[in-house]
Structure 1
Amino acid sequence: MSADDRVFARYVALGDSQTEGLNDGDDVLGYRGWADRLAERLATAAPDFRYANLAVRGRLAHQVRAGQLAAAVGLRPDLATVLAGMNDLIRPRCDPAAVAAEVERMFAGLTGIGATVVTVALPDPARLVPAAKPLSARVTDFNARVRAAAARHGVLVVDLSAYPVCTDPRLWSTDRLHLNALGHARLSDAVAHTLGLPGSDDSWSIPLAPQEKPVPWRRAATELSWAAGFLGPWLGRRLLGRSSGDGRTAKRPELAPVSPR
C-alpha cells in the first residue's frame, strides 16, 4: 500500500498546550486545535476511525513522556503525533540534549508498536518575539537533535523552521506562544501533507499576502502590551512554582469516534 492509499484507524496525539488546541476555541466551548482538525480529516476516510488527545497545557517534555507515553502505547495507535519541548526551551535553565532525549524516548516507544509517528521541528521564537533572540541557538540545537532522533526511528518531521510563513504573526495568538485558528489550520494541513493524505498539498507553506509594517511607536506599544499581558503572568507562575496545566487532565483520554466539522 502506498502512502497515498494509507488509511489510519487509531490516532493518538501527545503533547502540551499546542496539541491540546489553545487558542483555537476557548475554555467554555472547548479547544479544537491542529490535532483535532487532523483527526476530523482522517475520520472522513475511515468509517471506524478513533481518536484520543492526551495533551495537557504547561507540560514539560519529561512530563509528557511520563504522563502520556504509556497510555498512548496502551491504546495501540497506528498513527501518533509528538509535539513537546517548547515549554522547556523557554525556561532560563534548559538542556536541549536532555529535552530531545525525552522526545526520542517517545519516538522509540511509539514506533516500537508499529505506529507511524509525526513530530515537529519548532520555529525560531525570535522571529515572533525579538526579546527571545537568546533562545534561537537553543531551539536550533533542539531541532537538530530531534531531526536526528527522528531519522533513527523512522519518524516523519514537519519542519516549521524552514518556512517563513510559520513565524508570520497572523498565524499566532497575542501571547505569541500559541497558534490561533489560522495557525492551527495550517499546522494540520502541514501534518496531512507530510503524511501524504489524499487531497493534501504544500499550500500550507505559502506565505500570506504582504502587509504594511507598523510604525516604530506602534511596534513598541505592542511589545509593552505583550510583556504586561503574557510575560509578566508567566514569570509570576514560575516564581510561585505553578503551571497553567495544574489540575488539568487530557481532554480526550480514550479513543473515540470523531464527528467531522
Structure 2
Amino acid sequence: MSSTDAAYARYVALGDSQTEGLGDGDDTTGLRGFADRLAEHLARHNPSLVYANLAVRGRLAAQIHAEQLAPALALRPDLATVVAGVNDLLRPRFDADEVGGHLEAMFAALTAGGTHVATLTFPDLAGITPLARPLAPRVIALNHRIREAARHHGVTIAETAHHPVVTDPRLWSPDRLHASPLGHQRIAAALAHALHLPGADDTWTHPLPAPATPTPTGWRAATDELRWAATFLRPWLARRLRGGSSGDGHTAKRPYLTAVGMPSRPALRPYGEQV
C-alpha cells in the first residue's frame, strides 16, 4: 500500500516505553503516547481504522523482535510503526550492528507481508541532559543503522534527529527519558508528515515560543542535574544492577485490533477472524 494514496485500515505499533506512551498520562488514568495519537490522526480520515499497540516498556530490540513481531504479523496490519534501540544504547554493552540486525529483520518480515512500515531516528541525548554526552557516538551509530535498514526495505523514516526543537526540555518528561505529552504529540505529527497523511505538515519541526522563565545556568543548572540524577538516574542504575527491567510484570496495553477510543479486547482474532 502506498503511503500517499490509501487510507490505512489496520495499524499496529511495536516498540518499548515511548510507543507504549510513558510520559503521556500514567498507569492509573491510562497512557496515550505518540502511537495512540497517530492512530487518532488516522481514524479522523478512516473511522473504520482498528489499532493495536504491542509495545512494552523496558524492552530491548531483541526482545521486541522475539516477542512482538509474530503477534504483529498475525494481525495483518497495513501500517506498522517500529521504534526500538534506546534501551539498548543505555546498556553498558551496546552493539549498533546487533540492534540494527533486529530492526532489519522486523522491517523485512513486515514489508514482505505487504505492511507499510514507519520508524524514526533519535536525537542527541546530550541535548536533553548533559550527563548523556558520552552516549552521543552511540546515538549516531544507531541512527545510521536505522537509516540503512530502512533504505533496504522501503521503510518510511521520520527524521526527528535533524531538528533542534526535539531537544527542547518542554518536549520531555521530568525523567528526561520519555517524551512529555507535547513531545508525544510532535512525534506523532512527525510520523504523520513522513507518511504524507492528510492534514499533516512540517509544523512539528518549528521551535516552541520562548519560555516564560529562562533556562537555569550556573549553579542552578548544576543543582537541577544533581536532583535529576538522584530522582531518576540512581533508581534506574539500581534496577539495572539487580537485573530488573521497568517492564517486569507488564504486558501490551492493546494486544488486539480495536477501534480507536475503545479499550483493547479480543474483538478480532489473528487474521481478522471474529471472536
**Equivalent in the alignment of 2:175:** 175
**Equivalent in the alignment of 1:255:** 257
**1:151-170 superposed matches below 5 A:** 151-170=151-170
Question: What is the CA distance between 1:221 and its match in structure 2?
Answer: 1.2
Amino acid aligned to 1:12: V
Distance, in Å, in 1 between the alignment partners of 2:96 and 2:7 is: 35
Check the 8 A contact 2:16/2:64 in 1, yes or no: yes
**Equivalent in the alignment of 2:61:** 61
**Equivalent in the alignment of 2:121:** 121
Question: What is the CA distance between 1:2 and its match in structure 2?
Answer: 6.7
State the Cα deviation string for residues 72-121 of structure 1 (Å, max 9, x = none): 00100000000000000011111111011111111011101011100111
Question: What is the CA distance between 1:216 and its match in structure 2?
Answer: 1.1
Structure 1 residues 156 and 2: alpha-carbon distance in aligned structure 2, compared to 1, 3 A threshold: closer
**Equivalent in the alignment of 1:41:** 41
Distance, in Å, in 1 between the alignment partners of 2:198 and 2:2 is: 11
- Secondary structure of the structure 1 residue equivalent to 2:23: coil
- Secondary structure of the structure 1 residue equivalent to 2:12: strand
- Secondary structure of the structure 2 residue equivalent to 1:6: coil
**Equivalent in the alignment of 1:206:** 206
Amino acid aligned to 1:240: R
Question: What is the CA distance between 1:248 and its match in structure 2?
Answer: 0.6
Q: TM-score, normalised by structure 1?
A: 0.97
Which of 225, 228, 232 is the matching residue for 2:227?
225
1:29 maps onto 2:29 in alignment: yes
Amino acid aligned to 2:260: V
The CA RMSD measured in Å over matched residues stands at: 1.3
Amino acid aligned to 1:39: A
Distance, in Å, in 1 between the alignment partners of 2:76 and 2:51 is: 11
Question: What is the CA distance between 1:17 and its match in structure 2?
Answer: 0.2
Note the residue ranges of structure 2 that are not aligned, 5 or more in a row: 263-275
**Equivalent in the alignment of 1:241:** 243
**Equivalent in the alignment of 1:215:** 217
Distance, in Å, in 1 between the alignment partners of 2:35 and 2:126 is: 25
Distance, in Å, in 2 between the alignment partners of 1:87 and 1:76 is: 27
- Secondary structure of the structure 2 residue equivalent to 1:44: helix
Structure 1 residues 3 and 84: alpha-carbon distance in aligned structure 2, compared to 1, 3 A threshold: closer
State the Cα deviation string for residues 136-163 of structure 1 (Å, max 9, x = none): 0111011011101100000011111100
Note the residue ranges of structure 1 that are not aligned, 5 or more in a row: none
Distance, in Å, in 1 between the alignment partners of 2:4 and 2:65 is: 30
Identity of aligned residues (%): 59
State the Cα deviation string for residues 138-196 of structure 1 (Å, max 9, x = none): 11011011101100000011111100001111100111110010000011111111111
Amino acid aligned to 2:105: R
Q: How many residues align?
A: 260
- Secondary structure of the structure 2 residue equivalent to 1:242: coil
Question: What is the CA distance between 1:5 and its match in structure 2?
Answer: 3.5
Distance, in Å, in 2 between the alignment partners of 1:225 and 1:51 is: 39
Question: What is the CA distance between 1:215 and its match in structure 2?
Answer: 2.9
Distance, in Å, in 1 between the alignment partners of 2:33 and 2:47 is: 22
Distance, in Å, in 1 between the alignment partners of 2:210 and 2:83 is: 29
Check the 8 A contact 2:3/2:116 in 1, yes or no: no
- Secondary structure of the structure 2 residue equivalent to 1:82: strand
Give the 4+ runs in structure 1 shifted more than 2 A.
1-5, 210-213
Distance, in Å, in 2 between the alignment partners of 1:198 and 1:69 is: 28
